[in-house]
A = this chain, B = another copy of it.
Amino acid sequence: MQIEDSLGPFIQTLNERSFWIEVSNMKELTNRELSSLAYKKVKEMILSNQLRPGEKIVQDKLATTLGISRTPLRTALQMLESEYLVESIPRRGVVVRKLSNEKMVEIYDCRIALESTAVRRFTQIATKDKIERVKRFFSDFIKQSNIDVEKYQIEDIKFHDYIITNCGNSFLGKLFQQSNLLLCINQIGLVRPAHETLPEHLKIINAIDDGDCNLAVELTKDHLLKSKDLITRKL
């Protein structure tokens, strides 16, 4: 059990990975102070790998570690369960979910279906400023010969997240958030190297800029399909 050890230097340990978790994917739960706090902390601990996949969460210990009682922690765990980040086994406790490659493939299929819809709508309705914003995600990496993988991964997710949350279908966005469709994949880091996916991203952005929604959809499908296929081959 490494919860006790890890929480002391926890704030310092938070790397950039935790940053986009904060900004792009955190439920707002103002005023439900303690449940909200527990939710955020535990989610961060999972996504930053301080609670490892497969590890059991002992409620009493984690609660005292966080300085709260079990009640708000339990509500937090319930939320995380609905987000597919932990699994609750009745009368046995809750464990951090571990995604198999099979599940990853399934998730990619869902992403392909939903993100296709998202880019199409985004391309149709996006304003000038939004398109400009999209262009900026990868502008820093174009010049660089050696890409900072850590930063690239963050922008990668931010890019996809931006399209999804700005496509005009808030229910679709909720679907993504609720099941952590974007985040859970990154349990394993980047699926494909940046030098391979960067050009794909840029092509998609160009298609969006041109207002060519069919092309944007096809490129997005292809982009995701390639990553899916790579995982499929590992099965």
Cβ-based interface call for A230 (8 A): no
Cβ-based interface call for A90 (8 A): yes
Chain B residues positioned under 8 Å from A79 (CB to CB): 78, 82
CA of A112 to CA of B121, assembled, Å = 14
Among A74, A170, A175, max chain B CB count under 10 A is at A175
Chain B residues positioned under 8 Å from A171 (CB to CB): 103, 106-107, 109-110, 179
Cβ-based interface call for A233 (8 A): no
> Which A40-86 residues have a C-beta within 8 angstroms of B?
71, 74-75, 78-79, 82-84
User: What 0/1 readout, one digit per residue, does chain A (149-172) give for beta carbons within 8 Å of chain B?
Assistant: 000000000000000000001111
CA of A78 to CA of B121, assembled, Å = 31
Chain B residues positioned under 8 Å from A131 (CB to CB): none
Among A78, A79, A91, max chain B CB count under 10 A is at A78
Chain B residues positioned under 8 Å from A83 (CB to CB): 82
User: What 0/1 readout, one digit per residue, does chain A (1-26) give for beta carbons within 8 Å of chain B?
Assistant: 00000000000000000000000000
CA of A128 to CA of B117, assembled, Å = 32
**Pairs across A and B, CB under 8 Å, 27 listed:** A29-B90, A30-B90, A31-B90, A32-B90, A78-B78, A78-B79, A79-B82, A82-B83, A82-B178, A84-B174, A103-B171, A106-B169, A106-B170, A106-B172, A107-B171, A109-B121, A109-B169, A109-B171, A109-B172, A110-B117, A110-B171, A112-B117, A113-B116, A171-B179, A174-B179, A175-B175, A175-B179
